Structure 1
Amino acid sequence: MLTLTEIKTTDPNYEFVETLLHTSFPVEERRDDDRQRHHTDHNKSFHCYLATDKHTRVGFITLWDLNGFYYAEHLATSPELRNKGYGKGIVEALKNMCKGIIILEVERPEDEMSIRRINFYRRCGFYLCTRNYIQPPYRKGGLELPLYLMYTGTENIDNEYLRIKDEIYGQVYEVL
């Protein structure tokens, strides 16, 4: 059974999470370590969850509890455990834990990997919103990334799109 356990940087498993974050996401798709650690330990809206299957560490997910919805920021499984259903298990555990709307960002479907990722989230019950969405840079001098949002927990986000985008921009990326 897959379990999500919230951890802080003092947890012995945090190094596993941080290493997996570094190996799974390029530097432009994550904040610097000091800021990430600060959010993990001090931001009441931000949660870092270790995903385990019994005693095996399988991955992690970071989550923001925002104004009326949840934003899943990073999700990764250990490279040696990929393609074994753990990613889907993490998403299902997240959906069981978070009742309501869950939002996440995905690359636009421009190559095989981005198409596969979108289809993975579709199989997990998410819908693709193709409205123009630009991810602000995580770092000073960084590049913006053209992405799409995906969502679950509601039939559509059309009426809430601007509010959701503004909330993510303001709380997660600290811009507006």
Structure 2
Amino acid sequence: MTKKLISFAALSDPADERAAELLYTAAFPPEERRPWDGIQHPQSPYGPQLSIIRISYPDSAPRFAGIITVWEFETLRYIEHFAIDDCLRGSGIGADALRAVLAASPKPVVLEVEPPADDNPMAVRRISFYKRCGLQVLHHPYIQPPYSPGLPAVPLLLMASDANIDPAMAEKLLHRQVYNHVQEAD
């Protein structure tokens, strides 16, 4: 595939905000997402550490291609959600966007992914995609705490751009800062 010219910007256009919300709710089940109302506004209740970014590529005019939600911490950058518009999947735009984020990050990048399973070939494909983009599975048991009461915890894997990152430290940071969950062993 030829490399696409990817650009990133804050969501500012109402049409893009609507497209981003539709993509977000279609791409992630309720147990793997937070309420949309809080993340798309500059005064997000999650603070300045969380931002939602519009992924676009040039067509005749820059075209909405997807979204990425990113948390900035002192020791790492956490990609909470990454989704490309269905009609653009397989075009190379997602790989180019993720590689650009990884290349621009001055610190390790971490994300969560569903574990591979025979009954979930998409999880296997997703892990392979992330590996091709430069991420590695951190072999550490990991459970995503529930986003809100009534939702289940979700067993996931952590992947990172740096194999030397301490997975227990990353888990502790994500649980405290992203999910507002303090582990009892703390």
Normalised to the residue count of structure 1, the TM-score between the two structures is 0.90
Q: Deviations over 1:14-35 (max 9, x none)?
A: 2221111011111111012233
Q: Which has the higher helix share?
A: 1
Match of 2:21 among 3, 10, 18: 18
Comparing 92-101 with 138-147, greater Cα deviation is found at: 92-101
Q: From the CA coordinates, give the structure whose radius of gyration is larger.
A: 2
Q: Deviations over 1:99-129 (max 9, x none)?
A: 2200000101113111110000000010001
For residues 65-104 of structure 1, the aligned pairs below 5 Å read 65-104=72-111
Structure 1 residues 155 and 29: CA distance shift in structure 2, 3 A: closer
Structure 1 residues without counterparts, runs of 5 or longer: none
Aligned-pair Cα RMSD in Å = 1.4
Tell me by how many angstroms 1:163 deviates: 1.8
* Corresponding residue for residue 129 of structure 1: 138
Verify the 8 A CA contact 1:64 1:72 in the aligned structure 2.
Answer: yes
Comparing 90-99 with 53-62, greater Cα deviation is found at: 90-99
SS of corresponding position for 1:88: helix
Verify the 8 A CA contact 2:40 2:52 in the aligned structure 1.
Answer: no
Tell me by how many angstroms 1:130 deviates: 2.1
Tell me by how many angstroms 1:135 deviates: 0.4
SS of corresponding position for 1:16: helix
Identical amino acids, percent of aligned pairs: 32
For residues 31-42 of structure 1, the aligned pairs below 5 Å read 31-37=34-40, 41-42=43-44
Q: Deviations over 1:108-163 (max 9, x none)?
A: 111311111000000001000121000001121110111110000x2322xx2222
Verify the 8 A CA contact 2:138 2:163 in the aligned structure 1.
Answer: no
Aligned length: 170
Tell me by how many angstroms 1:4 deviates: 1.1
Q: Distance in 2 between matches of 1:155 and 1:134?
A: 19
Q: Distance in 1 between matches of 2:130 and 2:43?
A: 29
Tell me by how many angstroms 1:167 deviates: 0.9
Structure 2 residues without counterparts, runs of 5 or longer: none
Verify the 8 A CA contact 1:3 1:93 in the aligned structure 2.
Answer: no
Match of 1:47 among 41, 51, 67: 51
Verify the 8 A CA contact 2:66 2:84 in the aligned structure 1.
Answer: yes
